Amino acid sequence: MGTTLASAADPDALIGAAMPVRTALRIGTAALQSAGVESPAADAEWLLAGVLGLSRSALALDPHRAVGAPHDARYALALRRRMDREPLQHILGTQAFRGLTVRVGPEAMVPRPETELLVEWALELLPRAPAPLVLDLGAGTGCIACAIAVERDDATVLALELSPAAAALARANVGALGLDARVTVVESDLFAALGGVRADLIVANPPYLPSVVIPTLAPEVSRFDPQLALDGGDDGLDVIRRIVAEAPARLKQGGMLLLETAGGSQMGTVGALLEAAGFTRVTARRDLAGVERFVAGGLD
């Protein structure tokens, strides 16, 4: 079925037209491209597959399938939301993270692929001692805590989160993944609710962006990720300074602190903060783009 020039980028042209998948995708791609979405074709596929309850590969295998009611209207609505630059993951409702599927939404920052490397390093640093304890600061969706618990089935994780809404989302993910016995989500301003607990490893993906940078970011981030999860103050290091200063009292001897940062000039500053706080073996690692972003230190 053909489309007019006027309808080529109009999601409403889908409604009632019973267009085949390939035409619906063409319209969806054009609509998202007109709105400045970075990956319009892939996002159109994700949205239509989600509406139809299919995988993207299954969608590709059935290009002539008609997109009829009510899926046509649902797809048009999903495209409109994405054209408004609402994150794809918010519309789909989930995000993959190290082989897990976690629920996402406006309550917490959408997990990034780079943070999978943070978990990978955390697992390397976690001692082989029986029943190690991990503190996950600023848990957000709970993806870090859940991934560590799944991949180290002898570990216990306390996931600490300041935002009540994000903490509720993290608890939902913990429950959905069947990890309630080993992952506990606690509403806490960093370590405030912990009492005298000491951990083998503290891992954090804290807010680390300078305040002035946030309005310049893509709308998916600046408008939809919670400011609490992004804003690190004037130089981006307000929360990191607090973590580094308070962490020694929360670690066992030989314990490790592992942080994600903005990279760049922050790395030297964070390394110096760690050394000044008494951490040794301060080491950095690069992210997927080759940028030094992660830093760890030990407490001897």
Please report, rounded to a whole number, the percentage of residues in the chain having pLDDT higher than 90.
92
- Encode pLDDT of 179-226 as tens digits: 999 999 999 999 999 989 999 999 999 999 999 999 999 999 999 999
If you average pLDDT over residues 133-141, what whole number do you get?
A: 98
Beta bridge partners of 296: 258, 283
Amino acid 114: pLDDT: 93
pLDDT of residue 6: 41
Cα–Cα nearest to 207, from 189, 230, 224, 235 = 230
Alpha helices (runs of H) in 84-154, residue ranges in sequence order: 88-92, 113-125, 143-151
The arithmetic mean of pLDDT across residues 140-151, rounded, is 98
Give me the pLDDT at residue 179, please.
Answer: 98
CATH: 1.20.1050.10, 3.40.50.150, 3.40.640.10, 3.40.50.300. Which one for 106-298? 3.40.50.150
Could you state, in order of their start, the residue ranges of all structural domains in the chain? 11-84, 106-298
Structure tokens at 209: 């962006």
State residue 8's pLDDT score.
Answer: 67
pLDDT of residue 1: 39
- Report residue 22's pLDDT band, with 50, 70 and 90 as the boundaries: very high
Q: Coil, strand, or helix at residue 183?
A: strand
Would you say residue 5 has pLDDT above 50? no
pLDDT at 107: 97
**Model confidence at 59: pLDDT above 80:** yes
pLDDT in tens, 67-86: 999 999 999 999 999 999 99
**Can you give the pLDDT at residue 2?**
44
Whether the bond into 70 is cis, omega within 30 of 0: yes
- C-alpha dihedral sign at 216, 218, 224, 226: negative
d(CA 170, CA 136): 11
Is pTM beyond 0.85? Reply is yes
